[in-house]
Structure 1
């Protein structure tokens, strides 16, 4: 049951007012009709920011609870109208203004650790609509922050240098943001107004797109956009949060809109200066051609990447690279197990257990931080850590380089690919290139999303819809990667504090403090990176400590509210502590869906 169904009669009237607002398209001012493209976009956007600021200030000046709620809903409406532009040109500010009601910790190094108390629309929504007694002083502090930050943004907005490709990028970003965050409840935690807010975004996109009507050489393509957006809004308007068919929405609308986007790029003869996280010619969200490897690797991808990957694979399987010639990367990352090892925690040199579970390497290249504690920023850094770790390779990069140089075959291959031959950096780059190639996007779910087959069962589709909605799984495991790398910008791989138990009996909290051990930041105790659930059918046991052997155990853990739901004391748990109230049938449906994310596994471990 959504929160709206439990509102008082008075609050229901406000909710009705909100629904009335979303039925009205954002109308540009009369003057903007005489302006072109980004001039009109800027004028409309600034007016939307102005309106947001106005109703935030009205909220602060409201004397009673009804007026506070009403003004919040109107302010949020205008904020969502501005979202397509704001979320693109002010990425970091947007994340702050729309962030979750959770303490944010930024750790650059031991001398630069910031602890940021959230002041966002989500904070306001939770305080206004879930707290029994509204804390006006706190609300006023948050409102002041939001209004001041939006005023600063408004006063510094200048889109005069923006080009066609900027608009196309922000259009695509907004489409992807709505599908991967907007319809999941990510930014409407108390009211679950995701469907209504998504309508606001699409109506706003429709008006922004109208400013670029003259850019279309094929006028029928512009009409096709108008019709598609109208159909999208119609589907959203019929949607209830818990029963909305997100599978069909993404397949029928998000994927189709990305197809229209590609047609528009060609129609406009657009030349993109570079790629963002999503390739400029990506056919959709669920393809091996979707993501830019260079974006995630933070360096250009060489033309010889296939031969480099083949060389990296040789190194990956070479046991001679460890101290006692007994351990290779593949010893702990077996191809037939989705590059995991089936162990509770990994087995290092001399078969000695290491501290944490071995994660899959599938899709590992499509994230922005590595290891369960996010301690390195790229795969090359992860390789260095494994080589130097006394419980793993028990070696160092100089010894690694010496061993590789002693092999004539390696010398010949490195010389044919790299100008400077065998170096520590080139060895790491070759292995990393191979790991980055492990992103096939060839699961049953991917093929169904691409329309190559229609083989998903009703249970599997129900499971996806629960995953994306009622069960709130997708608020941490974001599609299409289903890891913690946040779309649509894919700039950050998130960590969460779940309260994972030490044993499957669920009696005590695990003693591994996770991210805390890097910088000793108290508020980071028990924080771990959100891994991908792609190929989860092959990667048991689960969690950072391998505590659970089955997906049924994992679902039960989440269903009861994680560690706090089990009675553990965990001050900064990010997982909601309330039960999800998922039935056994619903939990089985989610498991059935997760198994559709399995890529075909090789039969051998090479």
Structure 2
């Protein structure tokens, strides 16, 4: 055989071998495709539980079995919660949304709630024909929603970057919502459900190579929940700092190891944040409408100058700082401030509502107690023009400012040399920019969460755990802002109907006459509803509630401990605060107060 023939035969053999290796080998699917397949399996399991266990238990009126199958279904849902919330957010509301009506003001539509939380209320009521029929109807709606997800999911394409973003947000969701009882206030199964959510995260992480460290950390967290399953005594502070935060950090490292880029998601958190409490975890620019409203140091400086000046009021005798004192966390210490107007006898008319803190106001989706303003710019406009507050005019103020050299220089720095003249919008925006800057995140709690575990004593730690657990404060005042803007997406600022009395009287209590949101939007659900304000710097902002009725934090906690207005004899059909007693002891109340004082900025 000639050398040429040998070479030719050898080349053919190499080619055949290469082709066989290509066509006969099984290429491992991309991790994101594996994750997608895992979701399909878990979704099928959820559908099976609902169809074959939960629904028949209701039909057959097997009360114990229906509760067990309900909890089983919820735990199964928690395994895919991260995926549902990220890729199917609208459907996630139908499956596990809050049990309150959603009102679309612009469309004048009322969306009645549906899903697990509505079912929970029905299940834990005394069973009767009516509520069991309602329960069956709820399950039928869930069956349709789950089938819809399955159909649409077949068309979905997801990326590894999205998967890691969804997992990151789920860890935050467990910390801020999952372990607080937010979505199961009656069953109080938050701790085992947190374990289920972690199991879902674990199974997803396992689709990415070199995951041993992350899997071990998640297993340890799950073991912790099984070791301490009791809702009231669970140590949420330890769970967050010793388990959830390290898991989040480690998952981020796994993402980096796989060279997966961060994705710009829907959350208002910075795209690479790994803790709710890290410095600059929140991006204040994500709370504004567009890039023209982004914050800058120059806008902040101009806003501070305007905030402290009387130039905005037509009388030249009132400024923003007249009612918002820095030493009181930008509140004023009064029950209500005095109006610029006087009554027929010459007496100053008091304003309707207590002056709220402006600290952390930039991290909200609605402003004023009745949420009448959608932006801080709108808030500034309202306050300046309100005859009872500043009794001013932005048009007139602009004229005065344009004759003031100090302001002209500041406006040039903020808006450019060609924009030295003031106008109403620039004034509004500068004031809003300054208020957005009032968020140092420097409290002792922040420092503790960032690693300095000398910052809280044992009573304060106990108070945090009570706040986030037994007392259920954290299910309305969401960490890390401790206001009504729900993390981890921060899409909406909520209002609640608490039944606040006109006077601090528990024997003959009467509802405060201020109808709250109802004045502007006369839906029955909004009567006596007020925005859930931040508790940061709460020790500096007494008195409390929209009408300043309570002078101390102890009084406020006594009100909540009794079940709000319902507990002191005020009957409201639309009270959103649970009327159930919290059964907090005096020692526990003192511990919560001690914790609340750790929210003061240092």
TM-score (norm 1): 0.88
Structure 2 CA distance, aligned partners of 1:311 and 1:383?
14
The structural deviation recorded for 1:116 is: 2.6
C-alpha change, 1:96 and 1:345, in structure 2 (3 Å) is farther
Residue in structure 1 matched with residue 522 of structure 2 by the alignment = 520
Structure 1 CA distance, aligned partners of 2:455 and 2:109?
48
C-alpha change, 1:301 and 1:265, in structure 2 (3 Å) is farther
Work out whether residues 262 and 272 of structure 2, in 8 Å CA contact, stay in contact via their aligned partners in 1.
no
Residue in structure 2 matched with residue 246 of structure 1 by the alignment = 236
Residue in structure 2 matched with residue 604 of structure 1 by the alignment = none
Q: 1:75 aligns with which of 58, 73, 76?
A: 73
TM-score (norm 2): 0.89
SS of residue in 2 equivalent to 1:556: helix
Q: Tell me whether 1:121 sits opposite 2:99 in the alignment.
A: no
Structure 1 CA distance, aligned partners of 2:279 and 2:472?
26
Work out whether residues 498 and 565 of structure 2, in 8 Å CA contact, stay in contact via their aligned partners in 1.
yes
Residue in structure 1 matched with residue 395 of structure 2 by the alignment = 398
SS of residue in 1 equivalent to 2:108: strand
Q: Tell me whether 1:460 sits opposite 2:443 in the alignment.
A: no
The structural deviation recorded for 1:458 is: 1.2
Residue in structure 2 matched with residue 22 of structure 1 by the alignment = none
Residue in structure 2 matched with residue 389 of structure 1 by the alignment = 386
Please give the residue correspondences for 1:131-210 in structure 2 after superposition, counting only pairs within 5 Å.
131-133=126-128, 135-158=131-154, 160-210=156-206
Superposed CA deviations along residues 234-289 of structure 1, whole A, max 9, x for unmatched, are: 11111211100001111112222232244334333343453631112335222341
Structure 2 CA distance, aligned partners of 1:451 and 1:49?
38
C-alpha change, 1:542 and 1:33, in structure 2 (3 Å) is farther
The structural deviation recorded for 1:303 is: 8.4
Residue in structure 2 matched with residue 45 of structure 1 by the alignment = 39
Residue in structure 1 matched with residue 444 of structure 2 by the alignment = 444
Superposed CA deviations along residues 297-327 of structure 1, whole A, max 9, x for unmatched, are: 2333788711211111001101121121111
Superposed CA deviations along residues 352-408 of structure 1, whole A, max 9, x for unmatched, are: 421111111111111111111111111111111111211112123322322222212
Structure 2 CA distance, aligned partners of 1:301 and 1:173?
28
Q: Tell me whether 1:274 sits opposite 2:271 in the alignment.
A: no
Residue in structure 1 matched with residue 16 of structure 2 by the alignment = none
Deviates more, 1:57-66 or 1:142-151: 57-66
Work out whether residues 497 and 575 of structure 1, in 8 Å CA contact, stay in contact via their aligned partners in 2.
yes
Q: 1:258 aligns with which of 236, 244, 248?
A: 248
The structural deviation recorded for 1:540 is: 0.1
Work out whether residues 371 and 517 of structure 2, in 8 Å CA contact, stay in contact via their aligned partners in 1.
yes
Residue in structure 2 matched with residue 84 of structure 1 by the alignment = 82
C-alpha change, 1:288 and 1:331, in structure 2 (3 Å) is farther
Structure 2 CA distance, aligned partners of 1:159 and 1:294?
33
Q: Which runs of 5+ in 2 are unaligned?
A: 1-25, 342-347
Residue in structure 2 matched with residue 318 of structure 1 by the alignment = 309
Please give the residue correspondences for 1:520-599 in structure 2 after superposition, counting only pairs within 5 Å.
520-599=522-601
SS of residue in 2 equivalent to 1:43: helix
Deviates more, 1:124-133 or 1:553-562: 124-133
Structure 1 CA distance, aligned partners of 2:472 and 2:162?
32
Work out whether residues 101 and 122 of structure 1, in 8 Å CA contact, stay in contact via their aligned partners in 2.
yes
Superposed CA deviations along residues 517-563 of structure 1, whole A, max 9, x for unmatched, are: 11111221000010010100000000000000001110110000101
Superposed CA deviations along residues 42-65 of structure 1, whole A, max 9, x for unmatched, are: 222122222222322332233132
SS of residue in 1 equivalent to 2:512: coil
Structure 2 CA distance, aligned partners of 1:71 and 1:583?
34
The structural deviation recorded for 1:187 is: 1.5
Deviates more, 1:298-307 or 1:202-211: 298-307
SS of residue in 2 equivalent to 1:327: coil
Structure 1 CA distance, aligned partners of 2:27 and 2:595?
47
Extract structure 1 runs of 4+ deviating beyond 6 A: 301-304
Work out whether residues 165 and 272 of structure 1, in 8 Å CA contact, stay in contact via their aligned partners in 2.
yes
Work out whether residues 327 and 348 of structure 1, in 8 Å CA contact, stay in contact via their aligned partners in 2.
no
The structural deviation recorded for 1:129 is: 3.2
Work out whether residues 353 and 547 of structure 2, in 8 Å CA contact, stay in contact via their aligned partners in 1.
yes
Residue in structure 1 matched with residue 96 of structure 2 by the alignment = 98
The structural deviation recorded for 1:226 is: 1.1
Residue in structure 1 matched with residue 8 of structure 2 by the alignment = none
Structure 2 CA distance, aligned partners of 1:353 and 1:159?
60
C-alpha change, 1:226 and 1:473, in structure 2 (3 Å) is same
The structural deviation recorded for 1:233 is: 0.6
The structural deviation recorded for 1:189 is: 2.0
Superposed CA deviations along residues 542-595 of structure 1, whole A, max 9, x for unmatched, are: 000000000111011000010111111211101111111111111111000001
Q: Tell me whether 1:376 sits opposite 2:376 in the alignment.
A: no
Work out whether residues 102 and 113 of structure 2, in 8 Å CA contact, stay in contact via their aligned partners in 1.
no
CA RMSD of superposed structures (Å) = 2.0
